[in-house]
Chains A and B, each alone.
Chain A
Amino acid sequence: MSLQNQNAIGHNGNGNGSNGAVAGTNSTGVVITHSTTPLPAGVHLPLYMDNHATTPLDPRVLEAMMPYFTGKFGNAASRNHQFGWEAEKAVEIAREQIAKLIGASAKEIIFTSGATESDNLALKGIAEMYRERGNHIITQVTEHKAILDTCKKLEKQGFRVTYLPVMADGLIDLDDLRRAIVTEGPEKTILVSIMFANNEIGVIQPIAEIGKICHEKGVLFHTDAVQAVGKVPVDVQSMNIDVLSISAHKLYGPKGVGALYVRRRNPRVQITEQINGGGHERGMRSGTLNVPGIVGLGAACEICMNEMAGEAVRETELRDYLRAKFEGALDYVHVNGNMEYHLPGNLNMSFVYVEGESLLMGINDIAVSSGSACTSATLEPSYVLKALGLGDDVAHSSIRFGLGRFNTRAEVDYVADKIIDVVRKLRELSPLYEMVQEGIDLTKIEWAAH
């Protein structure tokens, strides 16, 4: 066997248990491909394990939505015929389904086009409404860009924004929050916005404690709960959440629809509308309602309500199993983020001395995400991983696994075995891994940064 073959990484016919595809011709002369190595039962390629990016639509959700694309096409704002009444009724049922999942009342749910709009409406709407009261907003460094970029815009408009750091496990320090809140003067804090669960590292912030602090100090509390709602228990009452962003496509609903919970009492939260028009959604968000999408969001929430407890246990087991397989087979691997306060389906792992993009290239029939953004001109790795204090080299070596409702144990086995195989081969190619094996301290080398 030549050296080339010994170092082969690929997925085609090098005996690594993958499906080396071979072209063949059937009797009609059409080129076909078939697998030389059969896949394990229950595994189909491409395999999706990136459920923080988006989730597949649950077939039950699609079934609920279908009538509202066809016969029941009415405008929910049409008050004088049954097409409108039918649509409005469906929207109100959805509002109830969503409210129930988060412990709110139906009137507190505002429909939007998605969580980016919900985040924008929450921050800009509150900043504008409460500007007379103060100009200070607190958020944290590992928020989604929908929050961070909105805060940057508000800073340009004269608001002062504090970006709390996170500790090495990804959680904020509650004392940092307490210290940052300004209770008097023109620089008074009007809003705290801290995400419920992080989309990259899956850590769950101490939301109930944050809510308690905010209410004690008389500050409004918004949370981007996109990754959390439907995955872990969320209760706006006991957690003292005033405003909360939801997205349908992260919980097996359709893309293009989301919601914003806006508290109506203790305290009553007011939001200045950012889209003007027909005064829909109690004036907070004009625009004809996306009735099929809203029905889908409602149905998706109801399914989560019924199945969340069991599903969380199942996904946690799968995630721990995946982690154990990596840790059992490979050296220099570690998890990122606090694993106690963590989303069931999230695993963010660093495979040190292997660059993330090259790892993804070796598993191109599996959909996961890399902490590396080497395709960008800046070569900047994930700002979330950097905020944990990870070196850029380790951040470049990180992979996010997003397990979801439709992932199976057979798929976890397949993904783990494939990744272990590719990591081993890439480490044979890695000068860094070789140097570490020889006892060289990589931090002592004067690298020529480029």
Chain B
Amino acid sequence: MAYSDKVVDHYENPRNVGTLDKSSGAVGTGLVGAPECGDVMRLQIRVNPQTQVIEDAKFKTFGCGSAIASSSLATEWVKGRTINQALTISNTDIVKELALPPVKIHCSVLAEDAIRAAIGDWKKKNGVADESPAEVAVAS
């Protein structure tokens, strides 16, 4: 199967590979997928508690080239956005950007899940309610 140039580029030069300290209160970690399905993504974000801006993002992925590219792209897209903005990233955006074929759509779904899981983890750690993140400022 032929991969798109963008998938190849992310595969050959993956962005933001690495690990953040998952015990840090500022870090949210999302671990999605399963080894037996051939796809595991771990996406981590460091969030500024005042602005809720994602200041850093790292990933590691076990999976096919499209899975690696989807998670690499996700880290690029979430960096510099607020968590609310990051939550608007959908798998279809990833499919479009990487020109993923239908059999690889699950890779993009997994990347979206990873973003949501990482943000969810950060919110849980920081006592932020899911619906209205603005309350954080009030609570703290």
Chain A interface residues toward B at CB < 8 A: 3-5, 7-12, 14, 353-358, 361-362, 372, 374-377, 379, 381, 391-393, 396, 428-434, 442, 447-450
Bound: A428/B41 CA distance, A: 13
A381 to B35 CA separation, bound complex (whole angstroms): 11
Q: Please name 16 further chain A to chain B contacts, defined as beta carbons within 8 Å, in addition to the given A8-B14, A354-B62, A447-B35, sorted by A numbering.
A: A7-B13, A8-B12, A9-B11, A356-B38, A358-B11, A374-B39, A374-B64, A375-B1, A381-B38, A391-B35, A391-B36, A432-B40, A434-B60, A447-B40, A449-B37, A450-B37
State which residues 47-74 of B face A: CB under 8 Å.
60-65, 67-68
- Across the interface, which residues of B come within 8 angstroms of A428, CB to CB? 17
A–B Cβ pairs within 8 angstroms, 12 of them: A4-B13, A4-B15, A8-B12, A9-B12, A354-B62, A361-B65, A372-B64, A393-B38, A430-B62, A431-B60, A431-B61, A447-B40
Contact A450 B38 (CB under 8 A): no
Q: How far is the CB of A378 from chain B (nearest CB, A)?
A: 10
B134 contacts partner chain A, Cβ-Cβ < 8 Å: no
Give the docked Cα–Cα distance between A353 and B42 (Å).
14
Give the shortest distance, in Å, between A177 (CB) and chain B (any CB). 31
Q: What is the minimal beta-carbon distance from B36 to any residue of chain A, in angstroms?
A: 3
* CA–CA, A374 and B60, complex, Å: 19
Please report whether the interface of chain B is mostly helix, strand, loop or mixed according to DSSP.
mixed
Contact of B35 among A356, A375, A393 (CB under 8 A): A393
Partner of A431, one of B15, B36, B62: B62
B115 adjacent to chain A (CB < 8 Å): no
Q: A432-B40, A448-B32 are in contact. Are A361 and B11 (CB under 8 A)?
A: yes
Give the residue name and chain of the B residue nearest to A372 (CB): B38
A-B interface pairs (CB < 8 A), number: 117
B3 interface residue (CB < 8 Å to A): yes
Residues of B within 8 A of A (CB): 1, 3, 8, 11-19, 31-42, 60-65, 67-68, 103, 106, 109-110
In angstroms, Cα B68 to Cα A5, docked, is: 16
Contact B64 A361 (CB under 8 A): yes
Q: What 7 A-B pairs come out closest when comparing CB atoms? A: A10-B12, A393-B35, A447-B34, A392-B36, A431-B60, A396-B38, A431-B42
Verify B65–A450 contact, CB threshold 8 A.
no
Do residues B60 and A430 form an inter-chain contact, with CB atoms below 8 A?
A: yes
Q: How far is the CA of A355 from the CA of B68 in the complex (A)?
A: 10
In the bound complex, residues from chain A placing their C-beta under 8 Å from that of B37 are 379, 392, 449-450
A450 touching B33 in the complex, CB below 8 Å, given contacts A428-B17, A431-B42, A432-B40: yes
Distance (whole angstroms) from the CB of B58 to the closest CB of chain A: 9
Residue of A whose beta carbon sits closest to that of B15: A4
